[in-house]
Amino acid sequence: MSVEILEKEIKPGTTILNVEEIREDFPILAETFSSSKGPDIPLIYLDNAATTQKPRNVLEAIKNYYSHENANVHRAIHKLGERATVAFEKSRSKIADFINAPSARQVVFTRGTTEAINLVVNGWGRKFIKAGDEILLSEMEHHSNLVPWQLLAKEKGAKLRFIPFSKSKGTLQIGNLEHFLTERTRIISVTHMSNVFGTINPVRGLIQKAREHGIPVMLDGAQSVPHLPTDVQELDCDFLAFSGHKMCGPTGIGILYAKEKYLEEMDPYQGGGEMISAVWLDKATWNDPPHKFEAGTPNIAGAIALGAAVDYLNSIGMEKITTYEQKLTTYALSSLQSIEDMKIYGMAPFRGGVISFNLGEIHPHDMAQFLDSQGIAVRAGHHCAQPVMRKLEIPATTRASFYLYNTFDEIDRLVISLLKAREFFGHGTR
Ligand code: 7TS
């Protein structure tokens, strides 16, 4: 497709969000890079599945905390300690409301999705999974929802089973889910949205089926919670793990949501300050959830700033964000597909703004470097999903992923740069 045709494309959905105004909220989006060949190049940030940028109110929340509230939480008698504790717990309540958790008690602060999953594997899995039991995952999991289960399965002599995905569409083949559910299945843990294909998995149906068998379900919400309105009561999931940094919040903070029953029966994952009720030299009793799972001084500024990120997303509206991203993704898919030799991995009917691709024989790392020279930040690699790459029989993909501040013009710039890359590499070799 020529640049001229591209520029005449109708860009639907530009009125759903005031993206120009939104972009003003993110100082980093004004960054430019110097170029030896001409004027500075503006940043086009399309690596949102790895981490998202932060709006001013989140940056302010971090500064404000350290400037006016900094003290340890849940222990100080002094006024500053009270201020920090109130802000920290207020943030927990905001996050609970954001996912419609019945209570803030069900929101555990972790370092991120990875730690939240490890908490369930170690706190629940270690206690309840026995030799011969089965753990049902999918073939499209991020390593963080795979490796912790491998460690547990090895320790316990349990068996991992996998719901396969279709190579052509990148969708889970859950039509014959019954086939994978046996009387030994103890838990199902799957991603809500794939970080490689962008596929939004049909988790409602899966959870309903699991209910009929009395099997708990954990959702890896790392890619879904930042982009889709999330209601844990409607989903009826037993556990939900997600990361703050993929939803406008800072790194080093994430969430495990769990149903009360599990929080009560789970063992703590780490021991230390604050997670206890009483301690003797030879034993200890536990604090109530969620504190039972939050040993040591938490990431207080991170937790407060995640609350600010939730405020920000709420001020825009999650429904609007989803709708806008859907339009942007549809537009990006049709633009990319029109490029000769383009191979896109994942063509699910329900999908988010994550597009993995390869162009001809150009190696994804070369592609990412070329795009970087054009100011476009994408990710190239296996995306922490090596089994997915292995099944697709490719070493890596280039991946563009979007968020609420990306524009239709940026997609055009991506396509123009891909066309240039094709010229530059002479339809290259991989
Ligand atoms: N699960 C999924 C589906 C993910 O995409 C990621 C991170 C994680 C879990 C782990 O999240 P963390 O915050 O604990 O690291 N995914 C990616 C990615 O696709 N590129 O960089 C990080």
What is the distance between the alpha carbons of residues 78 and 64, in angstroms, rounded to a whole number?
18
* Over residues 54-75, mean pLDDT: 96
Tell me, using a 6 A CB cutoff, whether residue 380 lines ligand 1: no
Instruction: Using the atom order of ligand 1, give the atom closest to the CA of residue 195.
Output: 5
Q: Which two tokens stand for residue 325?
A: 């991203």
Sign of CA dihedral 259, 263, 269, 271: positive
Tell me, using a 6 A CB cutoff, whether residue 112 lines ligand 1: yes
Q: Give the angle 96-328-430 at the CA atoms, nearest 5°.
A: 105
What is the distance between the alpha carbons of residues 99 and 309, in angstroms, rounded to a whole number?
13
Closest CA to 255 of 240, 277, 271: 240
* Over residues 302-331, mean pLDDT: 98
Compute the distance from residue 290 Cα to the ligand 1 centre, in Å.
Answer: 23
3-state secondary structure of 202: coil
Compute the distance from residue 160 Cα to the ligand 1 centre, in Å.
Answer: 21
368 membership: H or E segment, kind and range: helix 364-373
Instruction: Using the atom order of ligand 1, give the atom closest to the CA of residue 254.
Output: 13
pLDDT tens, residue by residue, 349-408: 999 999 999 999 999 999 999 999 999 999 999 999 999 999 999 999 999 999 999 999
Tell me the CATH architecture of domain 58-315.
Answer: 3-Layer(aba) Sandwich (3.40)
Could you tell me the pLDDT band of residue 6, with boundaries at 50, 70 and 90?
A: very low
What is the distance between the alpha carbons of residues 321 and 314, in angstroms, rounded to a whole number?
10
pLDDT tens, residue by residue, 167-200: 999 999 998 899 999 999 999 999 999 999 999 9
Ligand 1 pocket mutation pick from 51, 144, 145, 197 by most atoms within 8 angstroms of CB: 144
Closest CA to 304 of 94, 54, 98: 94
Residues 6+ apart with CB under 8 A from 215: 136, 181, 185, 186, 187, 188
* Over residues 124-153, mean pLDDT: 98
Cβ atoms of residues 382 and 396 within 8 Å: yes
What is the distance between the alpha carbons of residues 223 and 245, in angstroms, rounded to a whole number?
11
- For residue 75, what pLDDT is reported? 83
Sign of CA dihedral 266, 267, 270, 276: positive
Cβ atoms of residues 33 and 269 within 8 Å: no
Instruction: Using the atom order of ligand 1, give the atom closest to the CA of residue 246.
Output: 13
Tell me, using a 6 A CB cutoff, whether residue 114 lines ligand 1: yes
pLDDT tens, residue by residue, 88-121: 999 999 999 999 999 999 999 999 999 999 999 9
Within 10 angstroms of residue 37's Cβ, the number of other Cβ atoms is 6
Closest CA to 327 of 247, 224, 407: 407
Does pTM surpass 0.85?
A: yes
Could you tell me the pLDDT band of residue 12, with boundaries at 50, 70 and 90?
A: low
Strands 342-345, 284-286: pairing kind:
unpaired
Segments of the chain assigned to CATH 3.40.640.10: 58-315
Q: Give the angle 261-267-270 at the CA atoms, nearest 5°.
A: 135
3-state secondary structure of 262: helix
pLDDT at 337 > cutoff 70: yes
Compute the distance from residue 222 Cα to the ligand 1 centre, in Å.
Answer: 6
Could you tell me the pLDDT band of residue 7, with boundaries at 50, 70 and 90?
A: very low
What is the distance between the alpha carbons of residues 19 and 405, in angstroms, rounded to a whole number?
6
What is the distance between the alpha carbons of residues 285 and 378, in angstroms, rounded to a whole number?
48
Q: Which two tokens stand for residue 160?
A: 């991992």
Instruction: Using the atom order of ligand 1, give the atom closest to the CA of residue 113.
Output: 14
Tell me the CATH architecture of domain 5-42+317-428.
Answer: Alpha-Beta Complex (3.90)
Residues 6+ apart with CB under 8 A from 382: 388, 389, 395, 396
Instruction: Using the atom order of ligand 1, give the atom closest to the CA of residue 245.
Output: 13
Strands 354-359, 38-42: pairing kind:
unpaired
* Over residues 21-48, mean pLDDT: 94
Cβ atoms of residues 378 and 332 within 8 Å: no
pLDDT at 4 > cutoff 50: no
Tell me, using a 6 A CB cutoff, whether residue 58 lines ligand 1: no
Compute the distance from residue 51 Cα to the ligand 1 centre, in Å.
Answer: 8
Tell me, using a 6 A CB cutoff, whether residue 48 lines ligand 1: no
Output 429 or 174, whichever has higher pLDDT: 174
Ligand 1 pocket mutation pick from 46, 118, 223 by most atoms within 8 angstroms of CB: 223
Report the share of the chain in percent with pLDDT over 70: 96
Tell me, using a 6 A CB cutoff, whether residue 94 lines ligand 1: no
Compute the distance from residue 164 Cα to the ligand 1 centre, in Å.
Answer: 20
Q: Which two tokens stand for residue 144?
A: 């963080």
Residue nearest to atom 17 of ligand 1 (CA): 50
Closest CA to 98 of 226, 288, 191: 226
Ligand 1 pocket mutation pick from 110, 255, 384 by most atoms within 8 angstroms of CB: 384
Q: Which two tokens stand for residue 195?
A: 């970080």
Sign of CA dihedral 119, 124, 130, 136: negative
Could you tell me the pLDDT band of residue 2, with boundaries at 50, 70 and 90?
A: very low
Tell me, using a 6 A CB cutoff, whether residue 140 lines ligand 1: no
What is the distance between the alpha carbons of residues 258 and 390, in angstroms, rounded to a whole number?
33
pLDDT at 3 > cutoff 60: no
- For residue 280, what pLDDT is reported? 98
Q: Which two tokens stand for residue 78?
A: 């002094």
Compute the distance from residue 40 Cα to the ligand 1 centre, in Å.
Answer: 31
Compute the distance from residue 81 Cα to the ligand 1 centre, in Å.
Answer: 33
Within 10 angstroms of residue 233's Cβ, the number of other Cβ atoms is 11
- Maximal C-alpha separation, the chain: 76
Q: What average pLDDT does the chain have?
A: 95
Q: Which residues are catalytic?
A: 384
What is the distance between the alpha carbons of residues 385 and 250, in angstroms, rounded to a whole number?
23
- For residue 14, what pLDDT is reported? 55
Sign of CA dihedral 330, 336, 342, 344: negative
Place of tokens 């207080």: 300
Segments of the chain assigned to CATH 3.90.1150.10: 5-42+317-428
Ligand 1 pocket mutation pick from 51, 113, 201, 399 by most atoms within 8 angstroms of CB: 113
- For residue 176, what pLDDT is reported? 86
Could you tell me the pLDDT band of residue 13, with boundaries at 50, 70 and 90?
A: low
- For residue 248, what pLDDT is reported? 99
